[in-house]
Amino acid sequence: MKSLRRISTAVTAPLLGAKREHQARLGPSATALACLGASATALARLGATAANLALLGAAATTLALFSATTAHAQAVTVHGRMTSTLRPESDGVALNESNRGETPFDFLDVDLFLDAAPTDDLQLRTWLVFNDVYPHTMSLAAAILLYEVVDGGRLYLQAGKIPVPLGNYLDRFAADRSPIIGIPLAWHWHSSLARDIVPRSADALLAASGTGQTAPPVYPDAASSRRGLALLYAACYDYGAVAIGSAGSWEYRAGLLAGTPGNPAAGNDANDSRTLAGRLGWSPGPFLRVGASGAWGAYLPDDVGLPDGLSLSGSDEPGDYAQTALVFDIEASRGHGALFSEVAWSRYESPFIDDDLDQVSYYVEALYRVAAGWTVGARWDEIRFSEIASDSGDSSRWSESHKRLELGSSYDVSRSFTIRTGLQMNHAGAEGFDPDANVVAVQLIGRF
């Protein structure tokens, strides 16, 4: 049985052909993992309209023609993943919902990837998403251009709809090879701070504590139309451009994004600001990888809703209020075991609240390969919010904290078929773990 090797920088490796030896992934099929590569897992499902299928055909045809008419072209590859989930009803499923309402525990997911290499130094990836939550729509989850500027993996330019260059979770998220089904709280949990309206005061924000994840935040004088802001957000890529490279045991990513870590741009840019983001990492060998990353950018849209009778002070504009994020990450492996951990911190500035709105989240995830093709794992996960002063002077956390324990097991029946089982236990506030919020699931995953 081969030893477990470190799960790598999937932001670059799948499109780079895994040029660096230490960029190997967990699992018996390196080829399948490379194919599933550099995108954050979309919660995809089956069901497309004729127009969507026409768009898919047009995308495939365009890539094929582009590839075929290039002197050094490689063949366009089409590959994907279908996940069928069996689970009983549970209150905990809603605690995993994304902005659009999808979860990793939905009944049917399909992700479709189209890859092409028009030249030796240019690679393209298109990622299309189907979902049964929205069965008559198809969305573009990613459109990545990767250009090799300096030979030997020292410098690449990545542009388009791309993953945020923060932390290490997205590096293994897209491959979907972990036995753990859910997403860490830092990468999806919605707070009670709205993205489209501004709370009138600290009291208004505190009154909405406990909302934001399963439903949009509701303030005493206004209700949001979208779920609350996250610390980081894995389920949506952002528009931007990032330089990616390595020098010896050091690796780096740095660039500009249209959105922010907790609110990636889903369509048109919401404001004139750009987010500066980057990560610096160190990997002395395949057994260890550590990194520190950060981002800063305006999160409020230009057309944000302000409370009746209030306006921004002086020359302030919505773009003057920022999200700041810091992430520290570590990966370590030995023999058949691997350990992953991130600590993430974020601060939001709100126009009519004097205190900064801080949150911190961490998780520790351990994986162990029991036998060839069989891997088990466990993750402890927590997110906490800072205290702010109410109008009366009392202090309370501005959003509801949450804890989670998740266990999982995956078995590769073959290179293209995996059976995964999972148990997620959710803990909210003083109520402790709620049995009604436990999520038990069995997933059948087919790759093509």
Domain holding 341: CATH number? 2.40.160.10
Highest mean pLDDT among 209-223, 264-278, 287-301, 421-435: 287-301
**Residue 320 in domain:** yes
Burial of 279 (0-12, 13-18, 19+ CB in 10 A): buried
Please give the residue range of the domain that contains residue 230.
Answer: 13-308+316-447
Angstrom distance (rounded) from CA 342 to CA 365:
9
Nearest to 303 by CA among 204, 219, 197: 197
Residues 6+ apart with CB under 8 A from 445: 81, 82, 83, 84, 176, 417, 418, 419, 420
Per-residue confidence at 52, pLDDT binned at 50, 70, 90?
very low
Angstrom distance (rounded) from CA 108 to CA 178:
18
**Residue 178 in domain:** yes
**Residue 1 in domain:** no
**Residue 25 in domain:** yes
**Residue 7 in domain:** no
Domain count, the chain: 1
Question: DSSP string spanning 315-329?
Answer: T--GGG-EEEEEEEE
- Rg of the chain, C-alpha, whole Å: 22
**Residue 247 in domain:** yes
Q: What is the reported pLDDT for 64?
A: 46
pLDDT exceeds 70 at position 65: no
- Segment 51-60 mean pLDDT: 43
Q: Where are the beta strands (DSSP E) in 56-208?
A: 77-86, 108-119, 122-131, 138-150, 155-162
Q: What is the reported pLDDT for 69?
A: 45
Per-residue confidence at 176, pLDDT binned at 50, 70, 90?
confident
Task: Work out the percent of the chain whose per-residue pLDDT is above 90.
Answer: 64
User: Helices in 69-182 by DSSP H: which ranges?
Assistant: 169-173
Residues 6+ apart with CB under 8 A from 365: 178, 180, 184, 339, 340, 341, 377, 378, 379
pLDDT exceeds 70 at position 130: yes
Question: What is the pLDDT of the chain when averaged over all its residues?
Answer: 83
Pair 13, 286: CB distance under 8 Å: no
Per-residue confidence at 391, pLDDT binned at 50, 70, 90?
confident
pLDDT exceeds 60 at position 339: yes
- Segment 52-64 mean pLDDT: 44
- Segment 65-83 mean pLDDT: 67
Pair 295, 324: CB distance under 8 Å: yes
What's the one-letter identity of residue 326? L
Task: Work out the percent of the chain whose per-residue pLDDT is above 70.
Answer: 82
pLDDT exceeds 60 at position 312: yes
Tens-place pLDDT, residues 367-389: 999 999 999 999 999 999 999 99
**Residue 2 in domain:** no
pLDDT exceeds 90 at position 283: yes
